[in-house]
Structure 1
Amino acid sequence: MSATPSSPAWRVVVAAGAGQLLAWGSSYYLLAILARPMAADMDLAPLWVYASFSGALLVAAMLGPFAGARIDRHGGRCVLLASNALFALALIVLALAEDRWSLLLGWLLMGAAMPMGLYDAAFSTMVGLYGARARRAIVGITLIAGFASTISWPLTAAIEAEAGWRAACVVWAVLHLTVGAGIHAWLLPPSPPMSAHPAVAAAAAGDGVGVPPPRTLWLLALVFTASGFVFAAMATHLPRLLELGGCSPAQAVAAASLVGIAQVVGRVVEAGWLSRLHPLATARLSSVLHPLGAMLFALFGGPLAFTFAALHGAGVGIMTIVKGTLPLALFGTTGFGRRAGLLEAPARLAQATAPMLFGVALDHWGAAALWLSIAAGAIAVAGVLGLRTRA
């Protein structure tokens, strides 16, 4: 297979998407099922496990630019392969953990693997392979990886119920060393460094992007940070928030479960009708959806819980794609990996702190804490409205 195809090869996209499904299912989505069994087994407060995960996100934020630069220089396949080894090591350390400090070490190793193996790395790899034509590949990857929680949560829960949380970690480690490593070693084509990539060089010369001012980079980082805060806050506290807003426990769970479906639907819409629009227009649409839904729920309560969840989920789903396509459209392909890491670093810091901050707000303000996420959403809207398609 040529490393510089004229359009995304869908078997490559499917392979990369499957690798992302594995990476997300064994990292971000692991905590929801295993946090309490981990804490109970080692006689720890669950807060320690969540704090350890926040530490992992801080490590990921610090290492993101480095991982992106490695992809720029050496191509994405070797970095993704290394992530499989590091994910597996982290999971084995977690499985063998005997106290809080070895548990913390496992999560910090997981944080080191995240920027090498999650969306930033996959998107940068697609840009290295397809240059300015990577938008369709990025969308395809997110469509497949959007089912990570749907597949990983039942699988992790089933293993934990049968053999314990340590066995679940071992199974995920084995999957990384077999399925994940096999995908990245044999199903992803090698790509030269982006600066030497002929398709990338041609696209960069002809895409008309130019060099945007630093203000554009700062605004985009602000948008991603505010969106990251909203994502993490809702991912952690949405059912409780809905209950405080007037839903019954059953209604809250049912509405919250709609978020995952809405994410996939949003990505399908982006792959279809929205693909004809500039990514900046897509970004403006996605940034509006959470604050719109949240304001409706804040004003009218329980009857609009499902509307809120659907709008929030669609916004999250589309914003995931925007994080790959908008920097590509605004800045071009040169240095994409390092820039993606820089843009995602403050967002990961926001994701590390949002669960605790929003949890405290819920404790003190009840459902009125929703206005905190509305304010963060409004910041994202203001930031994306300040962006322009040309410098």
Structure 2
Amino acid sequence: MTDHTDGAALLDEVEAFHRRFNVFPSEAGYVAVTLWDAHAHLLDAFDSTPRLAFLSPEPGSGKSRALEVVETLVPRAMAAVDASAAALFRSVSGIDGGRPTILFDEIDTIFGPKAGENEQLRGFINAGHTRGRDTYRCVGDGANQQVQAFPSYCAVAVAGLGRLPDTIMTRSVIVRMRRRARNEKVEAFRTRIHVREGNKIRDRLAKWTEGIQEQVTDVFPEMPEGVADRPADVWEPLLAIADAAGGHWPDRAREACIAFVKASRINDKGSIGIRLLTDLRDHVLSGIDRLPTVAILDRLNALDDAPWADIGGKPLDNRRLSRMLSEYVTADGDPVTSRNIKTGGGVLKGYYASDLHDAWQRYCPPPPESPLPPLPGTENAA
């Protein structure tokens, strides 16, 4: 029997349910979270599942409430704040009946400074992003242990303070929560009442998504200009669902996609190596073709809002600078190393901008107002 549910109207209803209890920092947040709720019902239609992360710098920013509302709308929600890795492996394997949607509150306790004992959970969240990727563990006793593959592909939403490891950040829709202002009002969430209301919407969402399964399977929706690679992987499932819903959702989804991708480029400095390259390009060697190492270190360590003055309790020094830059190569394929620079007082070791230019092109985001020229030979590439 064909389901004639108006997909756009149903997504409007999901969004309205969130708006009753959540204050997200932008309209794009409501769009993204609504589409994520729907995508959790359609995992087998996609090659990957973006993680949904509610993050904030301070407690009391509505992260846990947002996760609670999501919990009412997704299939087989499983709150995993204190779940063991073994329990999650078993649940996602379907041993206990049906693949769950995993909800991690206080995720910072897993990825914080005392996270050594949670390495299995970290691996589980990383591996479960891609369909068909298993996690391998030894099972059994003593000499009778055998390696067993556990399916790990499942939808995961998290809430916590601070940030996540880069490998998860780049696979996530990041909703940066903040404390409500005095004029921002929400309805009190009453578990005994509103869980039932959310579950009714969830059941209708499940029925509608079942009807569009074939429509969104193996579909590669048109991406906004400039969205490619990992951001495209994150947004493909969400845009496919928006296109299937129709109405204003395809346009709103692409506007949200652009907003989130732009925000990720502003907020995410990438790895510490990319941060170093970017700071060298934008703040240290800007307009300069070479500079002695001692001057580079002085400028880096003087930068506000930069990590260089305190890395592991001491400032960046020439040995660590050399080690970090040697991971990158020049246009000729040689490691970036210091070279002799003639100065009025003699010869000093330092770095040339020309040696870093290829790494700047490949790894750094474009400067806001002066994009780098294209790589040689790519000017006319399609």
TM-score (norm 1): 0.27
Higher helix share: 1
The higher relative CO (CA closer than 8 Å, separation ≥ 6) is in 1
Bigger strand share: 2
Structure possessing the higher radius of gyration over alpha carbons? 2
